[in-house]
Amino acid sequence: MIAPPDDCLARNEWICGAYLSTRSEILTDAVVQHLQLTFVSVALGLVLALPLAVLARRRRWAAGPVLGVTTLLYTIPSLAMFSLLLPVYGLSAALVVAGLVLYSLTLLVRNILAGLRAVPEETRQAARGLGYGPLRLLLAVELPLALPAAMAGLRIATVSAVSLVTIGAIVGHGGLGNLIYSGMNTYFKAQVLTASVLCVLIAAAADLLLLGAQHLLTPWTRGRAA
């Protein structure tokens, strides 16, 4: 009779090097799926949030409904949000993306709008006095000045999205969440812990990356801090 292998996988330990080496392919696939879902959702959220925030800034009547609806959406728990989208998207990655877009929309619209509102009236008038049209005013003056607040929103939205992707496991498209879900069902401790830690690492890395991007995009804020 052959004795069962006595390694950390057989003993079902939390930390297990053998897990990393034997399942590296599964882990890589899950990380890639996780990153894709996060990136697509936040990018779509940004594309939708920008015009909404500008509309809410330019047209007074639009601010109430835009903020109201996005806040309402944000209150709906993630599992319920994904479930409500089930009839529309079925068991697909699109369902997870749609849910995450709706969440990041709230955070982004709120922060971009706060940034646009914080642009001093004198600055806007000075730009108008220099002959800036509404579009040029927006692109060359208001948006750059709103950038720090917008980036803060983008960082929160990205970090939240990384953590919410895991709930996508309910429809089989949860990136690392899939590994946590299957690890739970099979009582596989190393898989659950590894996937959880990777999730947190992805969130931290994304946050640092965006912080660096903000640093590069807003050189004028650096002089003041020095």
Partner 1 sequence: MNVLADAWSWLTTAAHWSGEDGVWNRLGEHLFLTVVSLAISCAIALPVALVLGHLGKGGALAVNLSNAGRAVPTFAVLVLLLLSPIGSYGDWPTIVALVLFAVPPLLTNAYVGVRGVDADVVRAARGMGMTGRQTLARVELPLAMPLILTGVRIAAVQLVATATVAALAGGGGLGRIITAGFNLASTPQVVAGACLVAVLALLVEGAFEGVQRLANTGGRGSGA
> Where on the chain is the footprint of partner 1 (CB under 8 A)?
72, 75-81, 83-84, 86-87, 156, 159-160, 162-164, 166-167, 169-171, 177, 180-181, 183-184, 187, 189, 192-193, 195-196, 199-200, 203-204, 207
* Residue located via tokens 């089989």: 172
79 versus 130: smaller Cβ distance to partner 1: 79
- In angstroms, what CA-CA distances link 224 with 60, 82, 123, 160? 33, 44, 18, 30
87 versus 219: smaller Cβ distance to partner 1: 87
126 versus 211: smaller Cβ distance to partner 1: 211
Query: Do 150 and 112 meet the contact criterion of CB atoms below 8 Å apart?
Result: yes
Least CB distance from residue 194 to partner 1, whole Å? 11
- In angstroms, what CA-CA distances link 80 with 7, 120, 136, 155, 167? 40, 40, 42, 24, 10
89 versus 132: smaller Cβ distance to partner 1: 89
Least CB distance from residue 203 to partner 1, whole Å? 4
Q: Is the dihedral of CA 75, 80, 83, 84 positive or negative?
A: negative
Least CB distance from residue 55 to partner 1, whole Å? 25
Beta-strand ranges (E) seen in 70-184 are: none
Least CB distance from residue 34 to partner 1, whole Å? 10
